[in-house]
Amino acid sequence: MANTDLLPPSVLKRKAVVYVRQSSPAQVQTNLESKRRQYELVDAAKRRGFRRVEVIDDDLGRSASGTMARPGFERLVASLCAGEIGAVLCLDASRLARNGRDWHHLLELCGLVEARVIDLDGIYDPGRPNDRLLLGMKGSMSEFELGVLRTRMLDAARSKARRGELRISVPIGYIWHREGLCCKVYRQARDDGYGHHRRCYASWSSSCWLMNWAASVSTQGPTLKARSTRRASPRMSRVMLKLDAWPLRSARITSKPLIVA
């Protein structure tokens, strides 16, 4: 089939959307090759004749299993309903959805507005029965793949638990011992780490600090110069009060308001 039949001029007049997604923040930081390949679809869209190409990458680090909100996918669906999109480009079906509800809803909208779905294998028109069948199988395989991966991870965790080698996150103050036991952190090492912060806070919030601060303020003199013959207005007094009393507020000390005349 010719490219003009798959992508008619009415479709090329609209914009193409490249949907970029990775399932977890760890994949965003480590799996850089997958991200690079997804962003390269912009050049693929331009080679196919689209002049306007938009990238939706709001869902980086979000799962497509249906248990997490995806603002990028919602924006894609809204643009499809408005008839602004001519084609949706993705690396594979799993990037768009990992559950049948979102996948078939997207295909239904693409068929209504005559938008195309493009991946690495080809161009699909959801309005045609054969293409719709093939896209439906790809979505089912993507959903099934997610279930297989989840089952493998749970089986591996249960196997490690039966051997006593499963390690989970422990509260602050506890660590895993090399023998497989969970024990408290040595008290002296913990005190050395937090002792400095406690001493700094105690010295900062003590009454001696307050007295030293008050003495330094009194030696510097009032905020308004003595040679000024004009009396400060009530508004100016409030402004100077805010400027002079900020250390008291940061120390959370309740006192009488300072009067600046």
**Dihedral sign from CA coordinates of 85, 91, 93, 98:** negative
Q: What pLDDT, in 10s, does the model give residues 20-38?
A: 998 888 888 888 898 899 9
In a domain, 153, yes or no: no
Q: What pLDDT, in 10s, does the model give residues 45-78?
A: 999 999 999 999 999 988 888 788 899 999 999 9
In a domain, 141, yes or no: yes
User: Which positions are catalytic?
Assistant: 23
Task: Calculate helix-pair angle for 100-113, 71-81, nearest 10 degrees.
Answer: 30
Domain count, the chain: 1
- Tell me how far CA of residue 143 lies from CA of 46, 95, 242, 258, in angstroms: 30, 11, 60, 67
CATH of residue 46's domain is 3.40.50.1390
In a domain, 217, yes or no: no
Contact of 224 with 212, CB cutoff 8 Å: no
Contact of 102 with 64, CB cutoff 8 Å: yes
In a domain, 142, yes or no: yes
User: In angstroms, rounded to a whole number, what is the distance separating the alpha carbons of residues 257 and 15?
Assistant: 62
Task: Calculate helix-pair angle for 100-113, 129-163, nearest 10 degrees.
Answer: 160
Q: What pLDDT, in 10s, does the model give residues 195-249?
A: 555 665 565 555 556 566 556 655 554 444 444 444 545 554 444 444 444 444 4
DSSP for residue 14: S
User: In angstroms, rounded to a whole number, what is the distance separating the alpha carbons of residues 73 and 64?
Assistant: 9
Give the pLDDT of residue 51. 92
Q: Can you give the residue range of the structural domain that contains 32?
A: 3-147
Q: Average pLDDT of the chain?
A: 75
